[in-house]
Structure 1
Amino acid sequence: MKRFLSLLLTGLLVFVLAACTANQNAGNEPKDKDKDKDEGKTEEVAAEKVLYLNNSMEPTSFDPPIGFDSVSWSPLNNLMEGLTRLGKNHDPEAATAEKWEVSDDGKTYTFHIRENAKWSNGDDVTAGDFVFAWKRLLDPNTGSPAAFLGYFIEGAEAFNNGEGPADNVKVKAVDAKTFEVTLTSPQAYFLSVITNPAFFPINEKVATANPKWFAEAASFVGNGPFNLTEWEHDSHFVMEKNDQYWDAGTVKLDKVNWAIVDDTNTEYQMFQTGNLDTSAVPADLSEQLFKEGKPKVEDQAGDYFYRFNVTMEPFQNVNIRKAFAMAIDQQQIVDFVTKKGEKPAYGFVAYGFNDANGKDFRETSGDLVKTNVEEAKALLKKGMEEEGYTTLPEVTLTYSTSDTHKSIAEALQQMFKDNLGVEVKLANMEWNVFGEEQKALKFQFSRSSFLADYADPINFLENFQTGLSMNRTGWSNAEYDKLIKDAKNEADEAKRYEMMYKAEKILFEEMPIVPLYFYNQVTLENEAVTGIVRHPVGYTELKWADKN
């Protein structure tokens, strides 16, 4: 936050005091209230269980098919709920749907929605709400970056591409509480995919009356463990326990106050002063805090990586792309910049996915890009000769505003200078603008992150199909596209994995991206807090959280 960053210049003491004040002003209940004349009211307030978290950035959107990113998912996952939900062990389990049947051919699922599944305004959650939401996800006019996730539904891809009508999408309400969907082929990961917020229902009656129902707390209607009760944009938002939720008895917290602070050091100071219950680990304190055993380290399926824009000079040339990729030392990034025990990434699919032979995908696929300074120099020279360059066109590396992103960008800038003799300019931009500009292919070379939407390697690889909004590189390869499409329709797991291994190799032969490291989840947590579940796919789960 600019307010906090400017205060840093006036001194640490003033900064800490300001952080405390700002956090309390950001919708937080004061820890110690003045005595109220009504003693019963004082006891009631004191008994409230309030969790204080930081979302780091303003959520992109609380419209489920649009808020398809790491700064929207965790709040959305606690405000809403799909047919299935990831449990404490990270596997999908019954949620808004209490049970389901699968047809003999494995393609048709019939879900039975709970009779007591309600919207926060008291309306019944119906099968029609799911039909409305899923077709809206796929509607090309919605412009959802998550629409491709629904392509396993019969008729979905054609509708999303403008080649078929909505009526051909095989989702239907059998009756008010029975929802049926037919897939193009059996999908082992289907129940996991639909835990993603993109597949959350939308109250059709509310959305029809107010198409911007999701934009403010006063109009927001959800069906999850918590309600959105306050949202001061770019400052904070507040959730309170949803008494209409079918499993409200499980929810222990009364309220969750989310600050929006985009600086890790500021976040850590707020944690230290008791104004946050969790915090990321600042890089400059990482070694000390790890030595003291304070951070919690959990798995996360995702990558920190950079995208080349193959439609812009000089990255239309594959050898120049490879030169830049090989000039990066991923091990140095995790050892000396991020310093949180991450694994360097030499491929795109993360560790933790076993193939039909029980072997880890990443280990089997191997290292597809490694640091090699001499080869990088040779490839740069070759690429420049191919393009007729005597001088390399100016290169700008763009990142979204964050202290971590800035540190990594500066490290890469130095590596390109030292290893290639190339001066690279840096530019930063606020997240929401950055995301739109990147999708529009406005950047030459820009940072990215990917958190798996569901637990399968295909989810990593499907991002780079031609024309997908998640591609953001301008890269296209017909063989790659066919491998991904065939893999998504292949029931034989051994054959499916072979297709995915081949696809990942093609991706790195052409190098539209360069990975830096695989994410883990490193957090500091108030000892009074229990039960927060951080799923490897990137959602934070507060349904079981408690604070003593």
Structure 2
Amino acid sequence: MKRWSALLLVCIVLTVMALAGCSSSGTDGAKKEEGSKILLYNNTREPTSLDPPIGFDMVSYDILNNAMEGLTRLGKDQSPEPAMAKEWKVSDDGKTYTFTLRDGIKWSNGDPVTASDFEFAWKRMLDPKTASPAASLAYVIEGSEAFNSDKGNADGVKVKAVDDKTFEVTLAKPAPWLLSMIANPPFFPVPKATVEKNDKWASEASTFLSNGPFKITEWNHDSDVKMVKNDQYWDAANVKLDGVTFKMINDSNTEYQLFQSGELHIQGVIPPEMSEQLFADGKVTVEDSAGTYFYRFNTTMPPFDNANIRKAFSMAVDRQKLVDLVVKQKQKIADGFVSYGLKDAAGDDFRSAGGELVTFDAAGAKSLLEKGMAEAGYSTLPQVTLTYNTNDLHQKIAETLQAMFKDNLGVDVKLSGIEGKVLTAEQKKLQLQFSRSSWLPDFADPINFLDIFESGSPNNRTGWSNKEYDKLINDAYSEPDETKRFQLLHDAEKILLDEAPIMPLYFYNSAYLQSDKLEGVVRHPYGYIDFKWADLK
């Protein structure tokens, strides 16, 4: 949206009014760009980074997953399947994985993809100089945590290119989720020779190398990323699209009109003011997803260095009203942090078994606020500023919370909208008092929701630290008995919500409009969108 003029925005508003009565299927307008099968998709904003260990968010992941590929790839049934690796063997103790790479796999410039590219990429992700926010995912690998925390070196990380086609990984402890986890971008290979010559290789289309279904040909920053089918990809015969264009439109109403006119094939965020009619007309497809929309408290900054004040703010939010009247995408409210869809050892849903850990109680919230203020010695609460990344929906949610805090706590909260990259950077530096966030898990296990709040985790971003919580997470990683492991995770989640360094709001789902000319899109509940098998009729 940064390149759109005010005049164009006025035209779009007029178009919204003119097309308000049109069909919402998008099928009349959906078209092939210049006679080719080019899928048009809204990525909402500029990716944080297309360097795999750095771009640790959905706007980066969605592009990376279609441009690159790891040892495994999540298939149509969400299970990991062979990708760059054609097969693997696991030792009897579950700690050593030996991957055999496919013959003839190449980068988009024709250079071979080798086991050395994987060894280099994984050690680079763990190098503290890289400062990868995803590095802790790899801590199950022997020697990885020591290297990442400056207590060891790269040679101690037990990943090894035995030869060009053989890659060996030794774990510190068994990790049943490993094959799913390494399908994620942080574990993608990077072209060793290219990266060593140019550490900015992933910042422009002209220097970016792909090894996945599509390759990047054009990157107009803050506008779009254009990809075409990668003829060097090992499975190119099964890629039906000629390309994908990822647009960057950070307004759901504008996105809706572009969908209507065929300039997008998917409407990924339903405009709240149109959702009731679109749902009633059966135009919207809703699929299970994973992840949590929440706010982070900075526990090092007054007044949120007091737990009762944090809990008061959380208890003052009527999440059901927020979901029903503002977001309007049929989401489930977040009464905990771990979302639905994860089975425990007994086959029960982890969230359901964990019970209601977050509630709405206006009177109780007021009492907790008074208690917290007395503990902190406040006669007047310090000014509170709520920061969100600029987007029409995020703004509406922030404004709704602002009103609830005023009505239920008598507190005036200031709002501040900033660009997404800036918000993330300032969160990491603990410069924001109270700020919007989200978590999308990297593999289907509750530990991937909860370990991000361990002390010192780069994904913590709250300043919160609790020794008992840290021990529970550490013990859960080492516990072989699944029943005991899940109990440790339930205990950890209770501490997290009782201490309240975060304020969960709702769990994500996937509600979208899609052209009837488009088929074969795979949406991973615990990941990203995949266009490898997509086609335009």
Q: CA deviation at 1:116?
A: 2.1
Does structure 2 conserve the Cα–Cα contact (< 8 Å) formed by 1:4 and 1:15?
A: no
Residue 281 of structure 1, aligned match among 260, 266, 270? 270
Aligned counterpart, 1:303: 292
Instruction: Identify the residue that residue 518 of structure 1 maps to in structure 2.
Output: 507
Which of 336, 357, 363 matches 1:347?
Answer: 336
Query: Residue 211 and residue 140 in structure 1: after superposition, are their counterparts in 2 closer, same or farther (change >3 A)?
Result: same
The amino acid that maps onto 1:253 is L
Secondary structure, aligned partner of 1:496: helix
> Superposed, which structure 2 residues align to 1:70-109 within 5 Å?
70-109=58-97
Write the distance in 2 (CA, Å) between the matches of 1:12 and 1:212: 36
Cα offset, 1:2, TM superposition? 4.0
Q: Which amino acid in structure 2 is aligned with residue 217 of structure 1?
A: A
Q: Does 1:234 align with 2:222?
A: yes
Over 3 Å counting, the alpha-carbon distance change for 1:464 and 1:32 in structure 2 is closer
Q: Of 175, 180, 184, which residue of structure 2 is paired with 1:192?
A: 180
What is residue 26 of structure 2 aligned with on the other side? none
Residue of structure 2 in register with 1:26 after alignment? none
Q: C-alpha offsets along residues 216-244 of structure 1, whole Å, 9 cap, x if unaligned?
A: 10111111000000001011110000011
Contact 2:32 2:39 in 1 (8 A): no
Q: Helix, strand or coil: the match of 2:513?
A: strand
Q: Which moved more, 1:239-248 or 1:293-302?
A: 293-302
Q: In the alignment, does 2:194 pair up with 1:183?
A: no
Task: Supply the distance in 2 between the matched residues of 1:99 and 1:9 (Cα, whole angstroms).
Answer: 52
Q: Secondary structure at the match of 1:397?
A: strand
State the 1:14 CA deviation: 5.7
SS in 2 for 1:214: helix
Distance 1:235 1:72 in 2: 14
Partner Cα separation in structure 2 for residue 31 and residue 268 of structure 1: 15
Matched, 1:218 2:211: no
Please name the residue that 1:160 is paired with. Answer: 148
For the 8 Å contact 2:120–2:190, the answer to whether it is kept is: yes
1:459-498 Cα offsets, whole Å, 9 max, x none, are: 0001101111110100001111111112112221111101
Matching residue of 2:482: 493
Q: Could you say if the C-alpha distance between residues 32 and 213 of structure 1 is closer, same or farther in structure 2, counting changes exceeding 3 Å?
A: closer
Say whether residues 1:409 and 2:393 are aligned partners. no
CA deviation vs aligned residue, 1:415-462 (integer Å, no higher than 9, x gap): 000000000000010111111011111111101011111111000001
Aligned partner (choices 117, 124, 134) of residue 146 of structure 1: 134
Identity of matched residues, %: 59
Aligned residue in 2 for 1:27: none
Per mean C-alpha deviation after superposition, the further-off stretch among 63-72 and 3-12 is 3-12
> Quick one: which amino acid aligns to residue 76 of structure 2?
K
Q: 1:335 to 1:16 in 2, by over 3 A?
A: closer
The answer to whether the Cα contact below 8 Å between 2:388 and 2:436 also exists between their aligned partners in 1 is: yes
- Contact kept, 8 Å, 1:398 with 1:427, in 2: the verdict is yes
1:124: Cα distance to partner? 1.2
Provide the rounded CA distance (Å) in 2 between the counterparts of 1:285 and 1:56: 19
Instruction: Name the Cα RMSD after superposition.
Output: 1.6
Distance in 2 between the 1:437 and 1:359 partners?
38
Matched, 1:470 2:459: yes
Query: CA shift at 1:7, angstroms?
Result: 3.5
Which 5+ residue runs of structure 1 have no aligned equivalent? 20-29, 34-44
Query: Which has the higher mean CA deviation after the structures are superposed, 533-542 or 4-13?
Result: 4-13
Compute the TM-score of the two structures, normalised by the length of structure 2.
0.96
Aligned partner (choices 40, 43, 51) of residue 39 of structure 2: 51
1:444 is aligned, of 433, 436, 440, to 433
Q: 1:318 to 1:13 in 2, by over 3 A?
A: closer
Give the secondary structure class of the aligned counterpart of 2:288: strand
Amino acid of the structure 1 residue aligned with 2:222? D
SS at match of 2:416: strand
Structure 1 residues 288-312: Cα deviation after superposition (integer angstroms, max 9, x where no partner)? 0001111111111100000000000
> Aligned residue for 1:314?
303
| 1:16 Cα offset (Å) | 6.8
Deviation for aligned residue 1:3: 4.6
Alpha-carbon separation, structure 2, partners of 1:515 and 1:4:
34
Tell me whether 339-348 or 488-497 shows the greater mean CA deviation. Answer: 488-497
Superposition map of 1:252-401 within 5 A: 252-279=240-267, 280-401=269-390
- Distance between the aligned counterparts of 2:12 and 2:143, measured in 1? 58
Asked if the contact 1:184–1:489 (Cα under 8 Å) also holds between the matched residues in 2, the reply is: no
Partner of 1:10: 10
What is the CA–CA distance in structure 2 between the aligned matches of 1:387 and 1:257, rounded to whole Å? 53
Is the Cα contact below 8 Å between 1:303 and 1:516 reproduced in 2?
Answer: yes
Given that residues 97 and 168 in structure 2 are in contact (C-alpha distance below 8 angstroms), is that contact kept between their aligned partners in structure 1? yes
Alpha-carbon distance in structure 2 between the residues aligned to 1:267 and 1:32 = 18
Q: Does 1:509 align with 2:498?
A: yes
Question: 1:112-131 residue pairs with structure 2 within 5 A?
Answer: 112-131=100-119
Query: Does the 8 A contact of 1:7 with 1:15 survive in 2?
Result: no
Q: Which residue of 2 aligns with 1:482?
A: 471
Q: Letter of the aligned partner of 2:117 in structure 1? A: D
Counterpart in the other structure of 1:37: none
Question: Which amino acid counterpart does residue 90 of structure 2 have in structure 1?
Answer: V
SS in 1 for 2:46: coil
Deviation of 1:212 (Å): 1.1
| Paired amino acid for 2:477 | K
- Cα contact 2:3–2:223 (8 A) shared by 1: no
- Partner of 2:342: helix, strand, or coil? coil
Match of 1:41 in 2: none
Amino acid at match of 2:442: D
Q: Deviations over 1:498-529 (max 9, x none)?
A: 11011001101100001000000111111100
The one-letter amino acid paired with 2:380 is: T
Distance 1:151 1:257 in 2: 35
Size of the alignment, in residue pairs?
525
Structure 1 pair 356/5, CA: closer, same or farther in 2 (3 Å)? farther
> Compared with structure 1, are the counterparts of its residues 545 and 32 closer, same or farther at alpha carbon in structure 2 (3 Å cutoff)?
closer
Cα distance in 2 for residues equivalent to 1:13 and 1:102: 58
Task: Give the Cα–Cα distance (whole angstroms) in 2 for the partners of residues 246 and 390 of structure 1.
Answer: 67
Aligned partners of 1:77 and 1:7: how far apart in 2?
A: 36
3-state SS of 2:218 partner: strand
| Matching residue of 2:48 | 60
Amino acid at match of 2:10: T
Give the conservation status (yes or no) of the 8 Å contact 2:32–2:38: no
Report the CA distance shift for 1:186/1:271 in structure 2 as closer, same or farther (over 3 A): same
- Which residue is 2:25 aligned to? none
Alpha-carbon distance in 2 for matches of 1:175, 1:54: 41
CA contact (8 A) 1:16 1:270 kept: no
Q: Counterpart of 1:423? A: 412
Distance in 2, Cα, partners of 1:317 & 1:523: 40
The answer to whether the 8 Å contact 2:41/2:265 transfers is yes
CA distance in 2, matches of 1:433, 1:168: 35
